[in-house]
Amino acid sequence: MAQDRPSQMDRDRFVAQFGGVFEHSPWIAERAYDLGISPRHDSALGLHDALCRVFRDATEVERLTVLRAHPDLAGKLAQARRLTAASSHEQASAGLDALTDAERAAFERLNAAYIARHGFPFIIAVRDHDKAGIRDAFARRVDQDSATEQAEACRQVERIAFWRLQDMLP
């Protein structure tokens, strides 16, 4: 239906629909809408381009806010079932909702070390990995310098956004 196409939505509906694509950051959808959404943005790939343009043009502080809005992997929010629906689904798809006690303890140690070193949670597009691959990437990335890791986290945020848009649009 035409009204379901991003280019046909009014601002409020567009932000309501796509404001959560970047975790707890509706301002990205607001700015993308204000820059202009055309029929070329009616696909996941097209809208991803528009939203990522806003994310990349944001200030470093704004990008860090997006990074910090992400939950810890297999962390306390997941255990308390307080993740967004998208994050919950993504973590479950990689088996992070069914960790052994030892695996959970390892993720908790890595989460604490990563946040202490970089100042934001470890972010990875879990749909691209299995549980072992996520753990290996986590262990490898925790020791990277923070500038390199921030750039990688931003790439991962964009990848997560793409997966979310794939679920919403053709």
Task: Catalogue the active-site residues.
Answer: 70
Q: What is the DSSP string of 134-164?
A: HHHHHHHHTTS-HHHHHHHHHHHHHHHHHHH
CA distance 34 to 48: 15
In this structure, what token pair is assigned to residue 126? Answer: 């879990």
CA distance 117 to 123: 14
CA distance 104 to 101: 5
